[in-house]
Amino acid sequence: MKKIGFAIIVFLVCFSSRAQKEVKIAPLGFDRENTSIAKGKIDTISYVSKTVGTTRKALIYTPPGYSGKQNYPVLYLLHGIGGDEKEWLNGGVPHIILDNLYAEGKIKPMIVVMPNGRAMPDDRAVGNIMAPDKVQAFANFEKDLLNDLIPFIEKNFPVFTDRNNRAIAGLSMGGGQSLNFGLGNLDKFAWVAGFSSAPNTKKPEELIPDPAKAKRMLKLLWISCGDKDRLLSFSQRTHDYLQQHKVPHQFQIEPGDHDFKVWKNGLYQFAQLVF
Ligand code: FER
């Protein structure tokens, strides 16, 4: 009898839907520059935005060994409310994280585009960053991304142009954008990730009105957040809905606050799962 009781407890602990699966945390040194490995390259690009009516900037990371002779999938990587196209580079060292992953053979060659997600003529993170027009500009970026930036990238870089080779991920406001734009345009994105997603994240019923379609079309949906983040409820309510409607996704609450420790880990994990 004791054995059966023990087996039942083991079963419940392992298969309870409430139990969080193993939390994935990057190993020490994942974000430390290694001078003896091949490096990718960061460039600034400028594209004409019909949506905003200006020429806008974005950063682009091309991987070690980058060559125009082959095509690459593209990850669009979005910043938060206090940032711009340089926020990831300055705070999250994505080039170092990715270079290290390439050196270990842990990721597929991809191009990473880091746009400015505040789609308005003055898109700098100055003044009151919470002003309604600036917050609205993060929603307006959907049109700039789909109609201006993606076509520019696809015209000027050797990239695949199908949904299976396009991913969107972001931190905080950029996490909300990634969930809103990715899940709202499943014909364009098969891979979606939100790190510490902000209150701009649409309500679950609006975000995923057709769970069966999301289930059918998504290759991967990743949602993560720090356990001390006051915005955790926005990730949690999305996860609860996805779980209730049986849409496969990876959800992790990890030790941390609303900061780059969580976002860098998000990039480290998602980069290995995407494409
Ligand atoms: C808010 C709290 C936080 C909000 C946005 C944020 C638009 C975004 C935070 C970030 O991007 O880091 O109420 O409203």
pLDDT, tens digit (0-9, with 9 covering 90-100), for 239-272 = 999 999 999 999 999 999 999 999 999 999 999 9
Distance 199 CA to ligand 1 centre (A): 6
Distance 48 CA to ligand 1 centre (A): 28
The total of other beta-carbon atoms located within 10 Å of residue 117's CB is: 32
Choose the residue to mutate in 172, 179, 258 for probing ligand 1, maximizing ligand atoms within 8 Å of C-beta.
172
Segment holding 220, helix H or strand E: strand 220-226
pLDDT > 90 in the chain, percent: 92
In a domain? residue 25: no
How far is Cα of residue 77 from the mean position of the Cα atoms in its chain? 6
Question: What does the pLDDT look like over 141-171, one tens digit per residue?
Answer: 999 999 999 999 999 999 999 999 999 999 9
In a domain? residue 29: no
| Per-residue pLDDT band at 3 (split at 50, 70, 90) | low
In a domain? residue 167: yes
Establish whether residue 145 lines the binding site of ligand 1, counting it when its CB lies within 6 angstroms of any ligand atom. no
In a domain? residue 3: no
Establish whether residue 65 lines the binding site of ligand 1, counting it when its CB lies within 6 angstroms of any ligand atom. no
* pLDDT value for 20: 63
Q: Domain count of the chain?
A: 1
Establish whether residue 178 lines the binding site of ligand 1, counting it when its CB lies within 6 angstroms of any ligand atom. no
| pLDDT of 9 above 70 | no
Which of 77, 75, 86 lies closest to 109 in space, CA to CA?
A: 75
Give me the CATH number covering residue 237. Answer: 3.40.50.1820
Mean pLDDT of 130-149: 98
Establish whether residue 175 lines the binding site of ligand 1, counting it when its CB lies within 6 angstroms of any ligand atom. no
Nearest CA to ligand 1 atom 6: 198
* pLDDT value for 14: 47
| pLDDT of 5 above 60 | no
Contacts of 39 (CB under 8 A, 6+ apart): 64, 95, 99
| pLDDT of 19 above 60 | no
CB 107 within 8 A of CB 87: no
In a domain? residue 45: yes
Question: What does the pLDDT look like over 207-216, one tens digit per residue?
Answer: 999 999 999 9
Bridge partners (DSSP) of residue 220 are 191
The total of other beta-carbon atoms located within 10 Å of residue 193's CB is: 31
Q: How far, in Å, CA of 207 to CA of 175, rounded?
A: 13
Question: What does the pLDDT look like over 214-244, one tens digit per residue?
Answer: 999 999 999 999 999 999 999 999 999 999 9
In a domain? residue 2: no
Mean pLDDT of 6-30: 68
Pick the more confident residue, 193 or 20. 193
Establish whether residue 197 lines the binding site of ligand 1, counting it when its CB lies within 6 angstroms of any ligand atom. no
The total of other beta-carbon atoms located within 10 Å of residue 212's CB is: 11
* pLDDT value for 12: 47
In a domain? residue 98: yes
Strand locations in 25-183 (E): 41-49, 54-62, 74-78, 111-115, 166-171
Question: What does the pLDDT look like over 46-87, one tens digit per residue?
Answer: 999 999 999 999 999 999 999 999 999 999 999 999 999 999
The whole-model pTM stands at: 0.94
In a domain? residue 22: no
* pLDDT value for 131: 98
In the numeric block, which tokens belong to residue 134?
């600036």
Q: How far, in Å, CA of 81 to CA of 118, rounded?
A: 8
Which of 183, 192, 250, 235 lies closest to 76 in space, CA to CA?
A: 192
Residue 242 is part of which domain span? Answer: 37-271
Question: What does the pLDDT look like over 188-199, one tens digit per residue?
Answer: 999 999 999 999
Distance 246 CA to ligand 1 centre (A): 28
Choose the residue to mutate in 78, 118, 173 for probing ligand 1, maximizing ligand atoms within 8 Å of C-beta.
173
CB 193 within 8 A of CB 165: no
Distance 200 CA to ligand 1 centre (A): 7
Choose the residue to mutate in 88, 130, 140 for probing ligand 1, maximizing ligand atoms within 8 Å of C-beta.
130
Distance 117 CA to ligand 1 centre (A): 13
